[in-house]
Amino acid sequence: MSVADQNTRDEARGGLDADRLLTLACVGLPLIGLILFFAYPMAIVFLRSITVGESYGLGNYAEVLGSSGFWRATRHSLIMGGATTALSVLLGFVIAHGLYRCAFPGKWIIRSVIVLPLLAPSLVQALGLIFLLGRNGVVSRALGVEIEIYGFWGLLIANTLYALPQAVMIIGAALVLLDARTYEAAEVMGASPWRQFRDLTIPAARFGILNAAFVCFTVTITDFGNAAVIGGDYSVLATEIYSQVVGQRNFNMGAVVGIMLLLPTVISYTIERQAMKRQRAGQATGQVAYRPSFAPLRDLSMASLSLLICAGIVGVIGIVVYASFVKLWPYNMALSTKHYDITLAGGYSSLWMTIVISLAAAAGGTLAVFLLALGLRRLPPAVAQPIQILAAMPAAVPGMVLGLAYILTFNSTATPLYLLYGSAALIAIVNFYHYHTQGFLTVMTGFRQLPQALEEAAGSLGAGLARSARDVVAPFIAPMLVSVFFFLFMRSMVTLSAVVFLTTPDLSVAAVTIMRLDDAGLTSQAAAFSTCVMAVVCVAVLFMKVTLALMGRRTRAKGEA
């Protein structure tokens, strides 16, 4: 059949087909968003990095590469990334192994504590460390020693606490994949527990560990909050961009550093995606969950180690909450709520604004990724694949770089997009695209679990795309959509790096306010504000759990179907 024939046939079939139009709309609208709010700004960053005066050239790069400050920041970023990765993967493996391969009571405590750092702006770890180990910290004063917490060590601990939850989740997910039958087979063949650990557990977790390492590395070198609060003189690339842009108003140089920061994250993200694929390939269906039996030596040591780490997390975050209620840290430790009377930096208005922005980002974002995933399933792979790759790209872009891209793109009167500049809508948009990948991939995972036969059955019964999306697909992946909604909400509540460039004196968000308060020396008020943010996020988590539990109850055991 000739190409022309194929086309006329397609037209004859597609011309009147509402489903086809709907598919195009499903993919088209989110795709326009991706291009306008991700691809285009990223192109602008690149162009600005090579803009010298009125023409293009590599002058900016030469200048940046020639400055000792840049090389110091790069070295620091790499060392910090490496050290944090090593530490958090090690601790993450201990905890994940404890959770999924050991038998001891109270695992729910570890499970709940371990996610705490994700529920707070990243600078909360830094604040907590200052209250614990800083010059006026609880520990320093109790021991009467002066610890220099600002700088490498403080930043290392803060970053590790921040990266740890992700390491535990990723390694845990890899360990869970190995089912009980495998261990039973090894047991019957006479393998000792140590051999089983070495020959089964470790190989199963291999890709998880690799994956976790890359995620931790990326998270660390792109994080801005911790570095800004506790980094001190230990400059890293993220703070370098900030000082170039905000301190020296040198946008082109900021763009160059941004592109430089992009390199390691893109590489690391690419490798991580490959590792994920390998892991998925090794997955089998019809698994039997592993139920470890009690082994005193292994379980007691794992349990105490895990609990110790958890105690550290609780201590660091708890001290922030505690300090927010202390009258005058560290001199008058009486309790009071006076720090909650925040007047500086716009008071609580930024908190309410952040909640509105987060709800908008979550609702719009969830809808967008759902439509995109729904439409992509119906497109030929040759078309769907490039879109899928684009949709998975934002995760490789550090928040600082995305924020910078936005200010360069939207603070320019060259296009009508300028209208968005300084609006809450733009902050909601940047938050969504910052976390686009995670949301998109979660929904795609949901779609992958949706049996094809289910949609086919609906189709044979006469349901069109809209109908089967509403009645069959959406209910099936509803739990995933709920997770994506709350994920986007919580991330938008606490993120700092992307939005730090987009706030204006009239429009601020919670994490930026915390940073401003801390900068102004109002550490206790910063703690109070952080506590409020954490409270909002905890309520959101509660809502999510309740929603998911209710959905689970309605169709109990539907996983079997």
Q: Are 488 and 479 in contact (CB under 8 A)?
A: no
**Interaction mask 242-281, other proteins, x per CB under 8 A:** ----------------------------------------
384 contributes a contact to other proteins by CB under 8 A: no
Alpha helices in 53-197 (DSSP H): 59-66, 68-101, 107-114, 123-133, 138-143, 152-176, 180-188, 193-196
Which of 145, 289, 382, 561 touches other proteins by CB under 8 A?
561
Q: For residue 12, what are the contacts with CB-CB under 8 A and spacing of at least 6?
A: none
Which of 75, 311, 464, 520 touches other proteins by CB under 8 A?
464
Give min distance, CB of 313 to other proteins, in A: 37
Which 8-state DSSP code applies to residue 504? B
Instruction: Output 424 or 478, the one with its CB closest to other proteins.
Output: 478
CA distances from 160 to 39, 48, 126, 152, 165 (A): 31, 34, 11, 12, 9
Q: Which stretch binds other proteins (CB under 8 A): 120-128, 165-173, 422-430, 468-476?
A: 468-476
463 contributes a contact to other proteins by CB under 8 A: yes
Which of 43, 246, 300, 457 touches other proteins by CB under 8 A?
457
Give min distance, CB of 557 to other proteins, in A: 4
453 contributes a contact to other proteins by CB under 8 A: yes
Q: Are 533 and 494 in contact (CB under 8 A)?
A: yes
Size of the site for other proteins (CB under 8 A): 30
449 contributes a contact to other proteins by CB under 8 A: no
| Residue 496 to residue 509: CA distance in whole angstroms | 8
Which of 349, 392, 467, 541 touches other proteins by CB under 8 A?
467
Instruction: Output 35 or 461, the one with its CB closest to other proteins.
Output: 461
| Residue 551 to residue 549: CA distance in whole angstroms | 5
At residue 400's C-alpha, the angle toward residues 344 and 167, to 5°, is 100
- Torsion sign (Cα): 240, 358, 25, 389: positive
Q: Are 45 and 404 in contact (CB under 8 A)?
A: yes
Instruction: Output 141 or 558, the one with its CB closest to other proteins.
Output: 558
383 contributes a contact to other proteins by CB under 8 A: no
560 contributes a contact to other proteins by CB under 8 A: yes
Give min distance, CB of 6 to other proteins, in A: 12
Q: Are 325 and 337 in contact (CB under 8 A)?
A: yes
145 contributes a contact to other proteins by CB under 8 A: no
3 contributes a contact to other proteins by CB under 8 A: no
| Residue 272 to residue 425: CA distance in whole angstroms | 32
| Residue 52 to residue 58: CA distance in whole angstroms | 8
Look at residue 275 and give its three-state secondary structure: helix
Both tokens of 332, joined, read 């008058």
Q: Which stretch binds other proteins (CB under 8 A): 397-405, 453-461, 489-497, 511-519?
A: 453-461
Count of CB atoms within 10 A of residue 253's CB? Answer: 23
Which of 460, 504, 506, 521 touches other proteins by CB under 8 A?
460
Which of 29, 478, 522, 548 touches other proteins by CB under 8 A?
478
- Residue keyed to tokens 């949901």: 446
Q: Which stretch binds other proteins (CB under 8 A): 154-162, 178-186, 308-316, 473-481?
A: 473-481
185 contributes a contact to other proteins by CB under 8 A: no
What type of residue sits at position 449? Answer: Q
Residue count of the chain: 561
451 contributes a contact to other proteins by CB under 8 A: yes
Q: Measured over all CA atoms, what is the biggest interatomic distance in the chain, rounded to whole angstroms?
A: 86
Cα end-to-end span (Å), the chain: 42
Instruction: Output 458 or 537, the one with its CB closest to other proteins.
Output: 458
557 contributes a contact to other proteins by CB under 8 A: yes
Q: For residue 29, what are the contacts with CB-CB under 8 A and spacing of at least 6?
A: 368, 371
555 contributes a contact to other proteins by CB under 8 A: yes
475 contributes a contact to other proteins by CB under 8 A: yes
Which residues within the stretch 11-40 sit at the binding site for other proteins (CB under 8 A)? 12-13, 17, 19
What type of residue sits at position 510? Answer: A
Q: Which stretch binds other proteins (CB under 8 A): 154-162, 363-371, 435-443, 464-472?
A: 464-472
Q: For residue 499, what are the contacts with CB-CB under 8 A and spacing of at least 6?
A: 403, 427, 430, 431, 509, 511, 512
Which of 2, 142, 380, 556 touches other proteins by CB under 8 A?
556
Which of 40, 459, 482, 547 touches other proteins by CB under 8 A?
459
Are β-strands 55-56 and 51-52 bridged in parallel, bridged antiparallel, or unpaired?
antiparallel
472 contributes a contact to other proteins by CB under 8 A: yes
Give min distance, CB of 438 to other proteins, in A: 25
Give min distance, CB of 479 to other proteins, in A: 11
| Residue 306 to residue 303: CA distance in whole angstroms | 5
Q: Where are the beta strands (DSSP E) in 297-381?
A: 326-328, 332-335
Quick one: how far is CA 355 from the chain centroid?
A: 18
Which of 104, 433, 476, 489 touches other proteins by CB under 8 A?
476
Which of 462, 504, 506, 521 touches other proteins by CB under 8 A?
462
Q: Which stretch binds other proteins (CB under 8 A): 64-72, 206-214, 439-447, 451-459?
A: 451-459
552 contributes a contact to other proteins by CB under 8 A: no
Give min distance, CB of 481 to other proteins, in A: 13
| Residue 369 to residue 256: CA distance in whole angstroms | 31
Which residues contact other proteins by CB under 8 A? 12-13, 17, 19, 451, 453-454, 456-464, 467, 471-472, 475-476, 478, 554-561
